[in-house]
Amino acid sequence: MLTAWDKRYLWHPFTQMRDWIEEEPVIIERGEGSYLIDIEGHRYIDGTASMWTNVHGHNRAELNAALKTQVDKIAHATLLGYSNIPAIYLAKKLVELTPAGLNKVFYSDNGSTAVEVALKMAYQYWQHKGQPQRKLFIHFDKAYHGDTVGAMSVGGIDSFHTTFDSLLFKGIRVSAPEIYRSLDAPETVKARCLKDIKRALVQHTQQIAGIILEPLIQGAGGMLVAPKGLLKDIATLAKRSETLLIVDEVMTGFGRTGKMWACEHENVTPDLLCTAKGLAGGYLPLAATLSTDKIYNAFLGEYRDRKTFFHGHTFTGNPLACAVALENIAIFERENLLTQLQTTISHFKTRLQEFYALPHVGDVRVCGLAAGVELVKNPENQTPYPLAEKVGTRVCKEALIRGAMLRPLVNTVVVMPPLQISISELDTLLDILYGSIAMVTG
């Protein structure tokens, strides 16, 4: 009955529904730590941390308790004109937790809106600074910042975005720092990328509102790990040309890269930082855009000056989500998770190197506890598998039968388990993936 009703009533995201209705959907009923359990009692390791959100595992007693405690007080109260307790505590905590200089928190509900907020803040900021001609954003090829119109406008994944091309605002798209297919050394890729940005900054001098990027790793674009130092160098360029740096930490935030924020790896404080996915531990939709005082102060003035940031979402600062987010952070601190995580990450990296023994594994890209295993028809010359072969999808289907839930980005299989996954669970997950790749590409 559930299967029939799913097919009858649901329209799934990023899904060709004609294919969907031909297949038997997995319907999840429960979660336990790193495992998802479906209505038939099958257990699957959550290899994508439930769409890159889960941090401490499913059904965590402490997170459940935080949610229950808060729901007995109030489920929602607005920040539009009023305030609420968890939203205040969390804002303070986020300011303490993020790179020094980010001092104000603006809430929304998801990664896309956190990005929209950052773009609109940057855009309006320049009007207040008497430079309204700064309207353009520099963004990256293969970037993913979400699916709302503004976020798509600074995105660079043609298969997602081309359909909506005429709807999107124009910016300046620069080449992705992609190493594998460029056949160049990381230093060369980095230099080329910086050259592109410099050229854009010179050609459009005084017109650039900001540079937006995913730090260290471009996620949905294929788990593309950037050359070391690129983030730092871009931050320097942004500063030198007096434009703004917007860092989208929606995927990388909350420990995913091995530090709380990807920015910390290169000692960068952006002007605006977006966070969402892991913010409430993977429990509830919550997002935040953090800004520096420089930006915040530019919006201060008499009401009639129209310097107000005219933006807000109905569920902004939702108390339930904020209460869970506070407990999410508290667990990091109590369990010293970031230290413990280093062992998991180094095991993950070592084990993933073994995948090169498989003849059709072309590239294994790892950043913290996030990886992409790219499958290619011919690794000698990086020939991709034709889309029609659906090799990524087939590998994930095989993995599902073997007890792991994974999702591909075309021919790249993403591995991104909850941060709290144990070494033995991680081994099981990687064994399943290895066996599935061997079977499908063998």
Ligand X SMILES: *Cc1c(COP(=O)(O)O)cnc(C)c1O
Residues binding ligand X (CB under 6 A): 110-112, 115, 144-146, 214, 219-220, 248, 250-251, 276-277
Q: Which is nearer to ligand X, 115 or 189 (CB)?
A: 115
Strands (E), 271-360: 272-275, 287-292
Q: Which is nearer to ligand X, 114 or 238 (CB)?
A: 114
Q: Which is nearer to ligand X, 213 or 376 (CB)?
A: 213
Smallest separation, CB 342 to ligand X (Å): 23
Interatomic CA distance for residues 198 and 203, integer angstroms: 9
Interatomic CA distance for residues 235 and 324, integer angstroms: 32
Alpha helix locations (H) across 167-211? 186-203
Q: Which is nearer to ligand X, 12 or 30 (CB)?
A: 12
Smallest separation, CB 12 to ligand X (Å): 14
Say whether 201 sits in a helix, a strand or coil.
helix
Q: Which is nearer to ligand X, 191 or 410 (CB)?
A: 410
Is the sign of the CA dihedral 40, 45, 49, 54 positive or negative?
positive
Q: Which is nearer to ligand X, 91 or 276 (CB)?
A: 276
- Report how far apart, in Å, the C-alpha atoms of 269 and of each of 77, 261, 273, 378 are: 32, 10, 9, 41
Pairing status of strand 43-46 against strand 404-405: parallel
The residue number whose beta carbon is nearest to ligand X equals 111
Strands (E), 158-219: 172-174, 208-213, 217-218
* DSSP summary character for residue 283: S
Q: Which is nearer to ligand X, 36 or 274 (CB)?
A: 274
Smallest separation, CB 277 to ligand X (Å): 6
Q: CB of 171 within 8 A of CB of 165?
A: no
Smallest separation, CB 276 to ligand X (Å): 5
Smallest separation, CB 377 to ligand X (Å): 28
* Cα atoms in the Cβ-side hemisphere of radius 13 Å centred on 249: 30
Smallest separation, CB 273 to ligand X (Å): 12
* DSSP summary character for residue 69: H
Smallest separation, CB 99 to ligand X (Å): 17
